[in-house]
Chains A and B, each alone.
Chain A
Amino acid sequence: MCTTCGCGNGETKIEGDGHEHVHADGTVHRHTHADDGNHPHGLGHEHEHRHADGTVHDHSHEHDAAHEHGSEHDHFHHHGHVHEGGTPHHHEHDHVHVMPDDSVVRHAHAHDGATDLHYGQGPAHSHAPGLSQARMVQIEQDILSKNDRHARFNREFLAERGIFAVNLVSSPGSGKTTLLTETIQRLQPTTPVTVIEGDQQTTNDADRIRATGARALQINTGKGCHLDASMVERALERLQPDENSVLFIENVGNLVCPAAFDLGEAHKVVVLSVTEGEDKPLKYPDMFRAASLMLLNKVDLLPYISFDVARCIEYARRINPEIEVMQVSATKGEGMDLWLNWVRLHAVTARHARNQQVASLKRRVAELEAKLATRA
C-alpha cells in the first residue's frame, strides 16, 4: 500500500532516484524507472500477507458496531463511537465479558456526552487488568509523528546551512510556477535559489524552473496528493542546496492535503488567484490557517472580473487573524517588490541565525581549546 495515497502501489518518484514500495505487511521492494518514467503500475502485482503464526491469507471483513473478539473476552457494543464536533449526546451500551471460566458478566454503561468528554470511561477503554488477556497500552502519539520527525530533520538541515525555505501551496492553476520563475529571475542576481517541485506527473514545472538557471528537482507523487517530509528529505540530499540560499518547495496543487504536512519549511505561503473566487479561505480553511502569508495573484485581471479583494482578505483573517496578505501580479510585476522584500528579509534572518550559531560554536571551541591548553 502506498504510504502517500493508498493506491495499490506507491508511485512516488524523485528525479534520478530508484523507487521503493513499502507494503502494509512491511515487505519492501525496489525498482528503478526507465528514463521516460512511464511504466505500468497497480495491476498484476500481488503479494500475500503473512501473520505472526505463519498463516497466510487474504480476506476482508465487515466493520460495524458489533463484532466478536476471541474466546476469552467477547464484548458487544450497541453503537458506533463517532462523536462529531462535540455534539451533545447521550447513549448507553451493554457489555458482555466471557470470563476464562466461561462465566458471563454482563453490565451496561451510560455516557452523557453533554459533559464534553468521556476519556477512558467507555468499556472498551477501561478493562481492569486481570479480567482478560487483553490490555490497554497508553501511547499518546501524534499520528503524524513520523512525518514530523522527518520535518524536524529537514528544519535542522536547513538551519545549519542558513537556508530559508518556503512551502508554496495553492490549488492547481493559481500561477505558482509563473510566480516562482518571475521570483527567481529577480532574486538570483543576489541570492542563490533552489526549487523542489511537487506534481503528480511530468517534469514540466521543474523544466520551467531550470530554464531560469536555478537548480530544481522534480518529485512526482504518482497518485499522491501532497508532498511529505520524507520526500523532501530525500530531495534535499540529492539537491544539496547552497548555503545561505533560498529554497522554494512548490507543493502539489491542492488546497486540502498539503495543509497537514510539515515539510520542515520556515513558512507556508498560500497563493490564491483572483480568478478563483473570494470565498476560498472559508471553503478551505485548513490551508489558510496553516499559511503565514497569502499572495493574491493575478491582480492585473481585477478590472475584468468580479472579485471583492477586501472581502477575500476579511475571510482569510477570519480563519487566521495573523495571516499577511500581498497583492501581486507575477506576469505584470505588480506587488512583486513587496513579496521579494519579504523573501529577502527572511533569507537574511535565516543567514543571520546560522552565523550566530557558527559564532557561538566557534567561541565554545576556543573556550574548550583554552581549557585543554591549561591541562596539557
Chain B
Amino acid sequence: MHEMSLAEGILQIVEDTARANAAAQVRVVLLEIGALSHVEVQALRFCFDAVTRGTVANGARLDVQATPGRAWCMPCGESVALARLGEACPLCGGYQLHVTQGEEMKVKEVEVA
C-alpha cells in the first residue's frame, strides 16, 4: 500500500502548485506513470480520492498517461519494447536488457481554476 504514500506525494505537489497559482480549486491532475514503475494505478486512484477529500483537490479528476516500457538489448544493440520486468527481448529472447523508459512516476500538469 505504498500507493497511499504516492498519493500523499501527489497531493503535496498539487497543493503547492495551487498555492503558487492562487487557485481555489484543482480540477485535473495529469500523471505520467511508466509501465515498469512501482505503481498499481487502480490502487493509486483509490488512494488519491481518499487523500484529496477536503483539500483544494477535492473531486479533482486523475488522468494517467501510461508510458510504455522500453529497454536496450545489449546483444541485439537495439531498443526494444518491454511490457514488464522479467520479460525477454522480443528479438533474441535474451534478458540482457537495460530499462531505458517506463519507470516514470511524475505529476506532469495540474489544471487549476
The interface of chain A, by Cβ under 8 A from chain B, is 1-6, 24-26, 48-49, 51-53, 57-61, 63, 67, 69-70, 73, 81-86, 116-119, 122, 124-125, 127, 132-147, 225-226, 228, 256-257, 259-261, 281-282, 285-286, 289, 315, 317-319, 321
Contacts and interface: CB of A to CB of B under 8 A. Distances in A.
Leading 4 A-B pairs by shortest Cβ distance = A49-B54, A86-B68, A6-B4, A285-B85
Given A6-B4, A53-B24, A81-B64, A260 B38 contact: yes
Contact of B54 (A57, A69, A225): A57
Majority SS of interface residues in chain B?
Answer: mixed
B7 A6 contact: yes
B41 A84 contact: yes
Given A1-B8, A119-B65, A257-B1, A6 B50 contact: yes
Nearest to A147: B9
Given A3-B8, A67-B59, A85 B38 contact: no
A134 B28 CA distance: 10
A4 B5 contact: yes
Which of under 10, 10 to 19, 20 to 34, or 35 or more describes the interface residues of B?
35 or more
Interface in B22-47: 24-25, 27-28, 30-31, 35, 38, 41, 45, 47
A53 B47 CA distance: 25
7 contacts: A6-B8, A70-B27, A85-B69, A136-B109, A141-B13, A143-B10, A143-B106
A84 B112 CA distance: 26
Majority SS of interface residues in chain A?
Answer: loop
A317 B85 CA distance: 11
B79 interface: no
B42 to A, nearest CB: 8
A6 B63 contact: no
B86 A61 contact: no
Given A5-B1, A86-B83, A134-B111, A139 B17 contact: yes
Given A85-B35, A259-B38, A63 B5 contact: no
A63 B47 CA distance: 12
B85 to A, nearest CB: 4
A321 B68 contact: no
Interface of B: 1-2, 4-13, 15, 17, 21, 24-25, 27-28, 30-31, 35, 38, 41, 45, 47, 49-56, 58-59, 61-69, 74, 81, 83-86, 88, 95-99, 105-113
B18 to A, nearest CB: 9
A124 B5 contact: no
Nearest to B54: A49
A56 to B, nearest CB: 9
B66 A85 contact: yes
A1 B107 contact: no
Contacts of B66: 82-86
Contacts of B98: 321
Contacts of B88: 318
Given A140-B107, A143-B106, A226-B5, 20 more contacts: A6-B5, A6-B50, A48-B54, A49-B53, A51-B54, A61-B59, A63-B49, A70-B25, A70-B27, A83-B65, A117-B67, A125-B63, A125-B109, A134-B113, A141-B107, A143-B107, A144-B105, A146-B12, A257-B5, A289-B85
Given A259-B38, A317-B95, A225 B1 contact: yes
A136 B113 CA distance: 9
B111 A136 contact: yes
